[in-house]
Amino acid sequence: MKKLKGILLLALCASLAPFSAFCAEEAKPVNEAQVMAVKALYTAATLREVGCKDTAGAVKMLFSPRAEIRWKRLAQEYAEEQLTDFFTGSVILGDKDYNFSALYNPFWDTILLLNSVGLPEVPKIEKFAFISGCKFRGEPYAENPADVEGTVPKANPYAVDLWNVVSRTTKHYKTVFDPKASAEMTRLMLNDPKDTERIQIRSAVRLKLLLKFLQNKPMQREAQRMSLYLTAGHEERMMRYFKDGGAAFLPHFAQLNPKLRENFIPYCFFPGQDAYLFVFFNSAMPRVIVTVTYPRKGISRIMEWYDLMASDELMATWNKIKEEKK
């Protein structure tokens, strides 16, 4: 297990190199195409930021009138709490075509595809598709609608389930969606009640788990304490709290740019038979996640952290080690 964690950390740190550069204060010169791409991603980022608090306001601000009408029809299928939960857990995807971007929530395995127009001025969202990850990737639905991959832990460690869905989604975005984004968007915008049902099931499971968290006052207090430790990034104090359960991860986490550790919040809560499992992330940048296993008995708390945008590398390393063990 120590060897596995060491190899995973190497893959993780390599993936964070460009991310750390992004957070640096000095900006490098960019060309016009890059500026346009950043504007499209800025629209997606603003939609996510405002949508976490006020989805209707975010849509009114950033959607064209025609797209806003379509969104209002879609929003009738969901409660406001569901939509804000989707935006809160979503990461931003984008590639070569600066007219298209996406918000993907791996905890729902659901994606919001966005077609921005109006460049090089401030872009507005003209078309969108709100669909499950399996529909986006062209994968068959699970026979059991309750098989909510990514939403609840399965046989693998939960982080591995997240790497799996994120890896498949980002690969599909780059290799299939991006090269023919316009045609794919048109196809995926078609109304699909079955797919809406799949998304609703995932959301319902998450809200049920959130209710359990809100009813568990001791774990709420503990989660608040963990959030403070993660945001402060004080290695010595974190070592005392997490005991031996974070020795491989804490030094690297403490060295992260403080901007990546700001405002860590609990997003997932899974009450298992032997332990509680939490997932925390920076509410402004949920691609960096922290998992904490909190035992029902004892104090052996285990902390691990990962960059979800490194899921390809992490998944490849995981599979390689599994093969070596056979």
- Name the nearest CA neighbour of 253 among 3, 38, 16, 7: 16
- Name the nearest CA neighbour of 70 among 134, 26, 113, 12: 113
Predicted pLDDT of residue 109: 95
Predicted pLDDT of residue 25: 45
Mean pLDDT of 84-103: 91
Q: Looking at the predicted structure, is the pLDDT value of residue 26 above 60?
A: no
Mean pLDDT of 249-258: 87
- The single-letter code of the amino acid at 230 is L
Higher pLDDT, 288 or 261: 288
Among 14-28, 106-120, 166-180, which stretch is predicted with the lowest mean pLDDT? Answer: 14-28
β-bridge partners, 292: 278, 303
Q: Looking at the predicted structure, is the pLDDT value of residue 209 above 80?
A: yes
Q: Does residue 266 sit in helix, strand or coil? A: strand
- Name the nearest CA neighbour of 269 among 228, 229, 214: 214
CA contacts within 13 A on the Cβ side of 49: 10
- Integer Cα distance of 108 and 169 in angstroms: 12
Convert the pLDDT of each residue in 218-230 to its tens digit. Answer: 999 999 999 999 9
Mean pLDDT of 46-75: 94
Predicted pLDDT of residue 270: 95
pTM for this model (two decimals): 0.87
The DSSP code for 245 is B
Among 4-8, 41-45, 130-134, 295-299, which stretch is predicted with the lowest mean pLDDT? Answer: 4-8
Predicted pLDDT of residue 41: 79
pLDDT band at 29 (very low <50, low <70, confident <90, very high): low
Q: Looking at the predicted structure, is the pLDDT value of residue 62 above 90?
A: yes
Q: Contact 137/162 with Cβ under 8 angstroms?
A: no
Predicted pLDDT of residue 93: 94
β-bridge partners, 269: 278
Max intra-chain CA distance, the chain: 58
- Integer Cα distance of 280 and 305 in angstroms: 9
Q: State how beta strands 264-271 and 275-282 pair.
A: antiparallel
- Kindly list the strands in the beta sheet with 110-117, ordered across the sheet, starting from the edge strand earlier in the chain: 91-94, 100-105, 110-117, 124-132
- Integer Cα distance of 286 and 51 in angstroms: 14
Predicted pLDDT of residue 259: 85
Predicted pLDDT of residue 95: 80
Mean pLDDT of 53-65: 94
> 3-state SS of the chain: helix, strand, coil percent to 5?
55, 20, 25
Query: What percent of the chain lies above the pLDDT cut of 90?
Result: 58
Strands (E), the chain: 91-94, 100-105, 110-117, 124-132, 264-271, 275-282, 285-295, 302-307
Convert the pLDDT of each residue in 137-169 to its tens digit. Answer: 999 887 666 678 889 988 789 999 999 999 999
Q: Looking at the predicted structure, is the pLDDT value of residue 72 above 90?
A: yes
Predicted pLDDT of residue 7: 37
Query: What percent of the chain lies above the pLDDT cut of 70?
Result: 85
- Integer Cα distance of 181 and 176 in angstroms: 8
pLDDT band at 249 (very low <50, low <70, confident <90, very high): confident
Predicted pLDDT of residue 160: 94
Predicted pLDDT of residue 275: 93
User: What secondary structure, in 3-state letters, does 18-77 show?
Assistant: HHHHHHCCCCCCCCHHHHHHHHHHHHHHHHHHHHCCCHHHHHHHHECHHHHHHHHHHHCC
